Amino acid sequence: MNRLIQAGLMFANLTRVDTPALVERYNRALHHLTGKRTALTEFAIDISGYSPEVADELGDPQYLNRNGVNRQIILLSTRQKSAPLLNARFSTTRALLRQFIDRNEAQLFALTARDAVAGEMVNGVFDIDSAQKLMDVRRLTIEADTTTGTLRDAEALAARAERFLDEEDAWFDDALIDEMIALARKTGDVTRNPIRLKHTAFHQDNFWTSHLGGVYLFSECDTPALLAREPARLGKPPLPVVDMGDPRDVAAWLHGNGLVQPLVTARGFDAARVLRQKMDFIVVDAAQDGGLDLAGATARDLRALARDNAERLPAEYHQIRRVVAWLEEGGRRPRHSPEDPAYFYLLRAADTPDRDLVNMLLAELAPKDVRQLFICHKELFYALYAGWSDTKKSYVADFLSRDYLADKAGTREALFGHDAPAPAPAPAAAPSRRTGPWSRTNKSPAPDPVPIVGPWGAVIRERR
């Protein structure tokens, strides 16, 4: 992974912990949560406070995320909100932590000025061994406080202050007054400057998790379902299960819920250019066992390589090539079914609130598109990268550092952004109703079956 680290594609934008004061605060929080300490004098942490250097020192990559649930957090600064999340087990964790910091930034800024904030993302589940437990992690609460209990003391002082004001004889209660003075020395005047974290409860309806072999939970859509790599591990699922190994079922579910669109029909989108880049990635994947040095290879170099080795290229390359030829030269539009290897390479997420999650799913279904894989599903990217040859590793690291890191926001917008929708057409006139001889409306005829079709016109399934 050193190539990725040096290129800024792994462990980038972490928050440095490099002063004795910060290290000591981190150690107090770490000991408070886990009973452990680090002997390191410099390291870096992600948005949750996890450090790959500390994990390596402790020999425990899950030292803040036991069993992959109820992730513990250490905040030394609100600047951590711009850091990535490492070893993500849920696709929503980073976004929820970012919301927590944003919504409590003033309070957290004041708290971390003097101490570390330690806490936990609590959902009431201690392990995930069935699909039913996934439903229980949709609601979670972030519980946090400083290592010295500033928030706890502030709540205690606020309660005593309220009692002091409400009780008639509180002025003569010396013990109560002494308690208030002692707490105020720690917290300050909580009546003028209240210290309380708000917005600590969160809800996640649709998400990915690495548990149970990798599962996508869509509980809020037209047809709720679990999309799983290993359906047998789900136990008795509370929702219908779509086997990700069955492309026809996956395609039918995606189209039936309106979650995807063909690249070639997306408005304001250069489909031919994007598809050509996907073809280059497929060429590199096919050439990775040839011992070639492809770092810095241009599109022209890869086209020449493809031309000289056309018979060795996989089916998805030739299927995408025919689509590009149709886009650029016209003629008969190619048709593809979900069983075709190129099918999911020809889709992207529709403009819905879950488009990031859908693009993550598509990246997993079309893993040779390394750019989308890196952007949308980093955990899978890193796992697959470890098994690639040096040929592919060098090309991918060079391409991403040169193409993606140069303009991350622009690349994301170009690939996944959506133009404003076209004006809706005027509604068609309502069909006339069949009436009897005395103008009574007869029962409407049964609707015709509605075909669910893929982007190339092939009927996937019919529903009524």
pLDDT tens readout for residues 345-364: 999 999 999 999 999 999 99
Report how far residue 345's alpha carbon sits from residue 340's, in angstroms, rounded to the nearest whole number: 10
Report how far residue 248's alpha carbon sits from residue 254's, in angstroms, rounded to the nearest whole number: 10
* Residue 31 identity: H
Q: 139 vs 63, 70, 136, 142, CA distance in Å?
A: 23, 12, 7, 10
Q: List, in order, residues 6 or more apart from 186 with CB less than 8 Å away.
A: 148, 150, 153
CB atoms within 10 A of CB 38: 19
Task: Tell whether the model's pLDDT for residue 443 goes beyond 60.
Answer: no
The predicted structure's pLDDT at residue 461: 54
The predicted structure's pLDDT at residue 59: 96
The predicted structure's pLDDT at residue 180: 59
Please give the share of the chain, as a percent, with pLDDT higher than 90: 59
Whose tokens are 């005593």? That residue is 160
Edge to edge, the sheet with strand 225-228 lists 206-209, 215-218, 225-228, 241-243
Tokens in use for 283?
Answer: 């060429």
Please, which pLDDT band fits residue 98 given cuts at 50, 70 and 90?
very high
The predicted structure's pLDDT at residue 176: 65
The predicted structure's pLDDT at residue 172: 67
Task: Tell whether the model's pLDDT for residue 376 goes beyond 80.
Answer: yes
Nearest of 266, 258, 267, 260 to residue 450 by alpha carbon: 258
Q: 459 vs 113, 204, 243, 387, 446, CA distance in Å?
A: 61, 33, 19, 37, 21
The predicted structure's pLDDT at residue 367: 96
Q: What is the mean pLDDT of the chain?
A: 85
Task: Tell whether the model's pLDDT for residue 460 goes beyond 50.
Answer: yes
The predicted structure's pLDDT at residue 160: 65
Average pLDDT over residues 405-431: 69
Tokens in use for 115?
Answer: 């101490």
Edge to edge, the sheet with strand 72-75 lists 72-75, 117-122, 139-146, 201-203
The alpha carbons of the chain give a radius of gyration, in whole angstroms, of 28
* Residue 148 identity: T
Tokens in use for 124?
Answer: 């009431």
Tokens in use for 36?
Answer: 């452990």
pTM for this entry: 0.82
Check the CA dihedral 79-120-382-22 and report its sign: positive
Q: List, in order, residues 6 or more apart from 309 with CB less than 8 Å away.
A: 286, 287
Report how far residue 71's alpha carbon sits from residue 89's, in angstroms, rounded to the nearest whole number: 9
Please, which pLDDT band fits residue 173 given cuts at 50, 70 and 90?
low
Please, which pLDDT band fits residue 299 given cuts at 50, 70 and 90?
confident
| Strand-pair partners of 450 | 463
Report how far residue 70's alpha carbon sits from residue 89's, in angstroms, rounded to the nearest whole number: 11
How far apart are the two ends of the chain, measured CA to CA in Å? Answer: 51
Q: List, in order, residues 6 or more apart from 265 with CB less than 8 Å away.
A: 455
Average pLDDT over residues 9-20: 95
Q: List, in order, residues 6 or more apart from 437 with CB less than 8 Å away.
A: none
